[in-house]
């Protein structure tokens, strides 16, 4: 579905090294790695937001619909939730049912900044789904949420993944536990410049911790 041939990315100094990978429909990838290593940089490159990464480096993206859950909600603060969803192509009814799906029914007329952090993130997730994405990109979806809200959101996302078996997902996270629940494939980004150190299918529960443990034991170059 999608093939990455990213040659690298500099911000004055090299951050991202070569990244080669293919993503198939139904892949649920958790992208793990130390903070500041370039996980969001890679996600932006895949989404086509990085102008210095040529389009040819992400083969097949032009045919895909992408939903991107940023770390901030990035809803238009001057538009209601309904209007935000309709702007990306949802009909009245779709907007209503999407909000219901993320547990925000009745909040359609609210402005994004009237919501709590957790609610705003769920509203932003509804917008991701409104484009009926082939590829769902999640940038630390559980960051700065309290454990209860994070747990609810995790259940919600897991449910969405189950109901869309053809959708692919890449989720940036620090937490191996997230990968246990959400992922069927694990990427580990590390090194200087950062490369995918590990790209593995996750078949059985408990594997993530094992993998992460082994990765920590390895002396990775530059880390």
CB of 111 to other proteins, least distance (A): 5
Q: What share of the chain is helix, strand, coil (3-state, %, to 5)?
A: 40, 25, 40
Cis amide prior to 174 (ω within 30 degrees): no
Give yes or no for a contact between 169 and 28, defined as CB atoms under 8 angstroms apart.
Answer: yes
Give yes or no for a contact between 157 and 1, defined as CB atoms under 8 angstroms apart.
Answer: no
* Position 66 contacts other proteins (CB under 8 A): yes
* Position 87 contacts other proteins (CB under 8 A): yes
CB of 122 to other proteins, least distance (A): 16
CB of 74 to other proteins, least distance (A): 4
Nearer to other proteins, 44 or 173 (CB): 44
Provide the CA 200 distance to its chain's centre, in angstroms: 18
How many Å apart are CA 195 and CA 212, to the nearest integer? 16
**86: nearest Cα among 127, 133, 136, 135:** 127
Q: Which of 15, 111, 207, 215 binds other proteins (CB under 8 A)?
A: 111
Among positions 11-50, residues that touch other proteins (CB under 8 A) are 44, 47-49
* Position 110 contacts other proteins (CB under 8 A): yes
Which residues make up the interface to other proteins (CB under 8 A)? 44, 47-49, 66-68, 70, 72, 74, 76-79, 87-88, 110-111, 113-114, 127, 131
């Amino acid at each position: 579905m999608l093939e990455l041939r990213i040659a690298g990315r500099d911000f004055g100094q090299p951050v991202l090294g070569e990244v080669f990978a293919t993503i198939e429909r139904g892949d649920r990838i958790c992208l793990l790695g130390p903070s500041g290593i370039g996980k969001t940089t890679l996600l932006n490159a895949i989404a086509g937001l990085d102008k210095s990464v040529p389009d040819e480096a992400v083969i097949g993206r032009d045919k895909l619909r992408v939903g991107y859950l940023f770390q901030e909600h990035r809803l238009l603060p001057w538009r209601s939730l309904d209007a935000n969803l309709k702007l990306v192509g949802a009909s009245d009814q779709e907007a209503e049912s999407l909000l219901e799906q993320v547990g925000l029914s009745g909040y359609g007329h609210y402005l994004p900044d009237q919501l709590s952090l957790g609610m705003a993130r769920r509203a932003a997730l509804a917008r991701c789904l409104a484009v009926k994405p082939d590829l769902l990109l999640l940038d630390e979806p559980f960051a700065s949420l309290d454990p209860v809200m994070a747990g609810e959101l995790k259940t919600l996302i897991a449910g969405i993944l189950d109901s869309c078996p053809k959708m692919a997902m890449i989720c940036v996270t620090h937490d191996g536990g997230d990968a246990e629940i959400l992922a069927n494939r694990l990427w580990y980004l590390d090194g200087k410049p950062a490369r995918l150190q590990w790209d593995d299918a996750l078949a059985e529960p408990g594997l993530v911790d094992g993998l992460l443990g082994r990765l920590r034991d390895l002396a990775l170059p530059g880390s």
